[in-house]
Structure 1
Amino acid sequence: MAFTDVETAQAHSAIETNANGEDLCKLGLLYSTGQGGTIDYIEAHKWFNLAALMGSEPAKHYRREISEEMSSFEIADAQRAAREWLATRH
């Protein structure tokens, strides 16, 4: 799935305001496909994990899919990053 520059900017700006599961899932897709930069599975997993917590079913699927490409240490890093992000939001 390709995103326009506007959609990419909107997804990134959403995390600064009132992000929802769809926005966070979109960020996961951006990082997992390397759109706008390099592929970063740790960052992608973080956003998919957060989106899944907000009820995004697609994020659960994508998170499971990229987990197969990651080591247990990378998954732990992604989970830690998600917890840290959540801690800054409350």
Structure 2
Amino acid sequence: MARFEFSAEDVVDGSAQHGGADALFQLGLMYCAGRDVDVDLVEAHKWFNLAALRGNDEAKAYRLELSREMTKKQIAAAQKSAREWLRCH
């Protein structure tokens, strides 16, 4: 099986700007795991939420798992950030 390596810049510069579900999911993974970026659960939730909205079922599961570790305030911040991203993209 092939393994793909993405940096934050690759994903942001690539199809995530155009709303590709898989690229949005990769951003969520990067922020969740701290790969090339600092761990940020709010950002991870935001990207998983956006990927889920675009049809990535795996993102739904990750978003649910993350939400169990977050406060209501953090979740609200992630949702607000996702709405702002949608407005611009």
Structure 1: 5+ residue stretches without partners: none
Number of equivalent positions: 85
- Which residue of 2 is the match for residue 37 of structure 1? 37
Deviation of the 1:12 alpha carbon: 1.8
Q: Would you say the 8 A contact 2:46–2:78 is kept in 1?
A: yes
After TM superposition, the runs of 4+ consecutive aligned structure 1 residues lying more than 3 A away are: none
Q: Partner amino acid for 1:63?
A: R
**What TM-score, normalized by structure 1, do the two folds share?**
0.87
Deviation of the 1:13 alpha carbon: 1.1
Deviation of the 1:37 alpha carbon: 2.4
- Which residue of 1 is the match for residue 64 of structure 2? 64
Secondary structure of 2:80's counterpart equals: helix
1:88/1:3 Cα in 2 relative to 1: closer, same or farther (>3 Å)?
same
Q: Partner amino acid for 1:39?
A: V
Equivalents in 1 of 2:86, 2:37: separation in Å? 24
1:54/1:11 Cα in 2 relative to 1: closer, same or farther (>3 Å)?
same
Q: Would you say the 8 A contact 2:19–2:54 is kept in 1?
A: no
Equivalents in 2 of 1:87, 1:31: separation in Å? 21
Percent sequence identity over aligned pairs: 44
Deviation of the 1:3 alpha carbon: 5.9
- Which residue of 1 is the match for residue 85 of structure 2? 85
Residue by residue over 1:23-61, the C-alpha shift from the partner in whole angstroms, topping out at 9 and shown as x without a partner, is: 000000000001112110000000000000000001001
